[in-house]
Amino acid sequence: MDQGQALRGEDILFAANDGLALYARDIRPAAETTLCPVICLPGLSRNGRDFDGIARMIATAPKGARRVILPDSRGRGRSARDPDPTHYTVGQELADLVRLMEVLSLRRAVFIGTSRGGILLHLLASQAPDTIAACVLNDIGPVIETGGLLAIRDALKPGRTFIDFAAAAEALRVRYGRQFPGLSEADWAEMARAIHTEQDGVVVPDFDPAIMAPFATLTAETVLPSAWPNYEALARKPVLVVRGALSDILSEETASEMVRRGEGRARLVTVPGQGHVPLLHTEPAASAILSFLATNAID
């Protein structure tokens, strides 16, 4: 049976504590399960569609299939744009996540956090550690490389439009091809559709440009604070660190230190030929995630 045919999906529309309309997608295995669900938290400009591939794999795993929830952060995807851009903060997005769990009556989850989503998990571990059963950190850690963050800021300058998704995919390949030499034409096309949308007859990035305002003053001399105490709280649970071998955000040294401080609870998988952020439905990331979920038997 096709993976899509074996799944049950539901759109979740809910209000944040401040009333903003938020969206998440709830993907359930064909058979009911009592296993702890997985919540996937996207990167700065990304949305829940980023996780479509790995979500299908998790929800159709032959052993230990799990429910997977894919929220769109405020200002991204199908969640509303915030009329007050000062609300685009990690603290507010964490409050939105807690609200989603309340709406779904979830006390605990396994989390997959990509980039900014992983930053949210560091904060969640310091404020509500019991909600975390285990986590996957996708190319993010307690130390962020300033050069990589500058590259993200410069790549997400507003005003980009494309005549169609094929043009958007080609623009992604031109900009990020050196960091992702192993991706196929189909991979670029899939990525383009995950992070863009059609609007007024053109294809545009699917996020509110106002989310980039806090990065306007960032320079190469900016000293970014580390979050090792938060990571150590997070690493009291099982942690899988996924790092792109060509990443400019998560250094090899930081990733190795994360494993060391995990004291046997953290493991690292490096994805060759990919940078920030690795595609989780590709190998070896996908197999590592499925094994991590099965091995830890998180219920």
Kindly report, residue by residue over 126-183, the tens digit of the pLDDT: 999 999 999 999 999 999 999 999 999 988 887 789 999 999 999 999 999 999 998 9
Report in angstroms the alpha-carbon separations of 73 from 45, 176, 208, 290.
9, 24, 11, 25
Class of domain 4-157+210-296: alpha beta
Q: What integer pLDDT is reported at residue 219 of this predicted model?
A: 92
Give which of 288, 295, 268 is closest to 57, Cα–Cα: 288
Give which of 274, 222, 268 is closest to 245, Cα–Cα: 274
Q: Tell me: pLDDT of 2 over 50.
A: no
Q: What integer pLDDT is reported at residue 135 of this predicted model?
A: 97
Distance (Å, rounded) from C-alpha 249 to C-alpha 1? 39
Q: Tell me: pLDDT of 4 over 60.
A: no
pLDDT band at 54 (very low <50, low <70, confident <90, very high): very high
Q: Tell me: pLDDT of 3 over 80.
A: no
Q: Tell me: pLDDT of 1 over 60.
A: no
Q: In this predicted model, which residue has the larger pLDDT, 159 or 75?
A: 75
Mean pLDDT across 284-293: 97
Torsions phi, psi for 74 (to 5 deg): -55, 135
Distance (Å, rounded) from C-alpha 187 to C-alpha 13? 29
Q: What integer pLDDT is reported at residue 118 of this predicted model?
A: 98
H-type alpha helices, 21-81: 52-59
Mean pLDDT of the chain: 94
Q: Tell me: pLDDT of 299 over 80.
A: no
pLDDT band at 297 (very low <50, low <70, confident <90, very high): low
pLDDT band at 85 (very low <50, low <70, confident <90, very high): very high
Mean pLDDT across 190-210: 95
> CB burial class (10 A; 0-12, 13-18, 19+) of residue 134?
buried
Q: Tell me the Cα Rg of the chain.
A: 18
pTM of the model as a whole: 0.95
Distance (Å, rounded) from C-alpha 4 to C-alpha 227? 39
Torsions phi, psi for 54 (to 5 deg): -70, -30
